Chains A and B, each alone.
Chain A
Amino acid sequence: MANSKDSIDVKRVEAAFNPVQDQDLDIYGEELKKYTIVDVDVHVDDTLQNMLPYMDGHFGKRLEAVLAADFMGEPHNSLRNMIAHVSWLGAAYDKHPRAKLATKEDLLERMEYGIIDYSILFPSELLPIGYLPDPKWAAALASAYNEYMVDAYSNVAGVKLAIVVSPKSVEHAVSEIEKHASNDDVVTVSIPDVGVNPPLGDEKYWPIYEAAEACNLPVSLHGIEALIHDNYPLRVSHFPTLMQVHSMGFPFTSMLQVMSVVCEGVPVRYPNLKFCVMEAGITWVPFIMHRLDTAYRQYRTELPALEAQPSEYISKWYWGTHELEKLPKKGDLSKLLDLYQGHNTTMWASDWPHLERDLIAGLMYYDLDDDVRAKILGKNAIDFYGFTT
């Protein structure tokens, strides 16, 4: 019941044709001011035309041909769209507002709001790089992306970068890591976890891990919906709706790659290399830990390199919260953290400004001890990426 002394504020508004962003910060702003907040999964406009100046020779010509394609009325944004939502286009009756690509000005405006202290930028356009069949083309795109992002976003207060590498081009990936490692604003190596076959524990990729460990750069596995029909490691063409592809594609792909990396002994061989998983939610983490432990009892001789149960290695991985599942009770997140020992390894991630991005209210809904909330909102990320504040 309103009190007659209540203040009344009336504001004329318009419908939002892009998803609303961050307006929940008005609600939680005061409470959030005491925290150092790191948003560990942020995307900016990295559409392919930005990379054209960084691609020479025949790769440049090839990119020009890509950019000339007018797909879905969105020239220059072709790679993800061509690969992505074609099969399920319209399945949701266009209910979702269109995704907005954030410009550099949008990012700076968000940062200047004063709530988000640090943003870690991950690729958007190159998330599908894992399933480009030509390794040299994938490598050329990765190089161009990294150079573009370093030129555009280095030395921007509060902004840190992930460089992307193509796992199909191991030597090139190593050279990209070594090339950018000395840049203090480059804080992680992003490896796609979709379309990568064999899976990421395979010996073929170990030079990438060796280089990342030597350069003290943690590895981030960033998912994307397993959107190509026969795309490894998950076939999704038999699902008629994007909802099914989206909801299970991310976590199942990530689970399979975590299993591969751990069971192939990568954490034993590179004990100082840190890993995290982005954009797969977190409720499945206890499941894979304890599921693998159960099988380990019976099949341990298949994994002689391991010196402990799989869960002991997985408990050292870090996890971006997006898309943070809404559990029924406010105390449930705390219970979940107990199950996977995630108090020191869980990092708030928004996926801003993509359609599915999490508002910070999604985390604030949960009851958490203040020190745990501070860790998830920022301290864990600072530990993982190792930058100084």
Chain B
Amino acid sequence: MKERNGKRRVAVAPVDEFPPGARLEIKVGNRSIAVFNVKGEYFAIFGLCPHQSAPLSRGRLQGTVVCNEHTNWEKEWAHDGEVLVCPGHAMEFDLRTGKAFGYGMKLRTYDVIVEDDWVTVIL
């Protein structure tokens, strides 16, 4: 673990060993973080569901149904591939923001960079 500008950097995998579609469950001390490679874009999000602590690293990535003024209150399929579905009881989280669909809560997300050819999570 490195530290720069007061933020800690955790190198989690060499880039060539973390291809699109792969995911990692990392623990830093007691903190769980789920890391995903979605079509070449990296995401990291708090790793335990706030409902009953199921591991979000094991969740499926898919879309969800939205219905709001932007859709004229019609149901539409949206966010395809970027909705993390808890493998416990299927709560849904926006992988980009951590926002839980349909709840006033947001999970912490973490920046992910590539540094020295390693995928690195900034805590």
- Per the bound structure, the CA–CA distance linking A12 and B24 in Å amounts to 5
> Out of A2, A7, A358, which one reaches B123, CB within 8 Å?
A2
Is B113's CB within 8 Å of the partner chain A? no
Is the CB–CB distance between A10 and B24 below 8 Å?
Answer: yes
B1 touches A13 (CB 8 A): no
Stretch in A20-28, A223-231, A367-375 touching the partner: A20-28
Residues on the A chain within 8 Å of B1, using CB: 2, 4, 6, 8
- Which of the 9-residue segments A90-98, A274-282, A284-292 touches chain B? A90-98
Contact of A95 with B23 in the complex, beta carbons under 8 Å: no
For B54, the closest partner residue in chain A by CB is A20
A95 to chain B: closest CB distance in Å?
Answer: 5
Q: Mark B13-57, 1 if CB is under 8 A from A, else 0.
A: 100000000111111110100000000000000000001111101
B8 x A8 contact (CB < 8 A): no
Partner of A4, one of B8, B64, B88: B8
Q: Looking at the complex, which one of A8, A93, A355 makes contact with B27 (CB distance below 8 Å)?
A: A8
Q: How far is the CA of A356 from the CA of B8 in the complex (A)?
A: 38
Specify which chain A residues have a CB less than 8 angstroms from the CB of B65 in the assembled complex. 93
> A13 and B57 in contact (CB under 8 A), knowing A8-B10, A96-B90?
yes
Of B31, B51, B52, chain A has the most CB atoms within 10 Å of the CB of: B52
| Minimum CB–CB distance for B23 against chain A, Å | 6
What are the residues of chain B within 8 A of A20 when measuring CB–CB? Answer: 54-55, 58, 87-88
Whether A358 lies near B26 (C-beta < 8 A) is no
Q: Is the CB of B58 within 8 A of A16?
A: yes
- Docked pose: A11 CA to B25 CA in angstroms: 5
Q: Which residues from A are CB-within-8-Å of B100? A: none
Would you give the shortest CB distance from B88 to chain A, in whole angstroms? 6
Q: How far is the CB of A245 from chain B (nearest CB, A)?
A: 17
B71 CB to nearest chain A CB (Å): 15
Q: Which residue of the partner chain A has the closest CB to B89? A: A356
Query: CA–CA, A358 to B29, complex, Å?
Result: 27
User: Which of B22, B77, B123 makes the CB contact (< 8 A) with A1?
Assistant: B123
Looking at the assembled complex, report how far the CB atom of A14 sits from the nearest CB atom of chain B, in whole angstroms. 7
Most central of A3, A9, A11, A15 by chain B CB within 10 Å = A15
* CB-based contact B52/A15 at 8 Å: no
Please tell me the size bucket of the interface on A: 20 to 34
Within 8 Å of chain A (Cβ to Cβ): is B3? yes
A9 to B58, CA, bound (A): 16
Of B13, B53, B92, the residue contacting A27 (CB under 8 A) is B53
CB of B46 to closest CB in A, whole Å: 13
State whether the Cβ of A198 lies closer than 8 Å to any Cβ in chain B. no
A interface majority secondary structure:
loop
User: How many Cβ-Cβ contacts under 8 Å join chain A to chain B?
Assistant: 97
Beta-carbon contact of B24 and A16 below 8 Å? no
- Chain B: CB-nearest residue to A28: B53
Most central of A1, A19, A93, A95 by chain B CB within 10 Å: A95
Chain A residues 69-117 with CB under 8 Å of chain B are 93, 95-97
Asked if B25 contacts A358 (CB within 8 A), the reply is no
* A19 engages B88 (CB within 8 Å): yes
Central interface residue in A2, A7, A11, A24, by most chain B CB within 10 Å: A2
Q: Give bound CA distance, A97 to B54, whole Å.
A: 14
CB distance from B34 to the nearest CB of A (A): 8
Contact B53 A15 (CB under 8 A): no
A237 to chain B, nearest CB (A): 21
B59 within 8 A of A: yes
Report yes or no: B90 in contact with A95, Cβ–Cβ below 8 A.
Answer: yes
Which residues of chain A from 336 to 377 have any CB-CB distance to chain B below 8 Å in the complex?
Answer: 355-356, 358-359, 361-362, 365
> Separation in Å of the B1 CB from the closest CB of chain A?
5
A23 touching B55, Cβ below 8 Å: yes
A8 touches B52 (CB 8 A): no
Asked if B61 CB lies within 8 Å of chain A CBs, one says yes
Smallest Cβ-Cβ distance to B91: which chain A residue: A95
Contact residues in B for A326 (Cβ distance below 8 Å) = 51
Chain A nearest CB, measured from B106 CB (Å): 18
| In the bound complex, CA of A359 to CA of B52 (Å) | 6
Chain A residues whose CB sits within 8 angstroms of the CB of B59 once the complex forms: 15-16
Q: Chain B contacts of A15 at CB under 8 A? A: 23, 58-61, 87
Query: CA A37 – CA B62 in complex, angstroms?
Result: 36
CB distance from B7 to the nearest CB of A (A): 9
Interface: B107 (CB within 8 A) = no
Find out whether the CB atom of A19 lies under 8 angstroms from the CB atom of B13: no
Q: Would you give 26 A-B contacts (Cβ < 8 Å), ordered by A? A: A2-B1, A2-B8, A2-B10, A2-B29, A7-B27, A8-B10, A8-B26, A10-B24, A10-B25, A10-B26, A11-B26, A12-B24, A13-B24, A13-B25, A13-B55, A13-B57, A15-B23, A15-B58, A15-B60, A17-B60, A19-B87, A24-B52, A27-B53, A95-B62, A95-B85, A96-B90
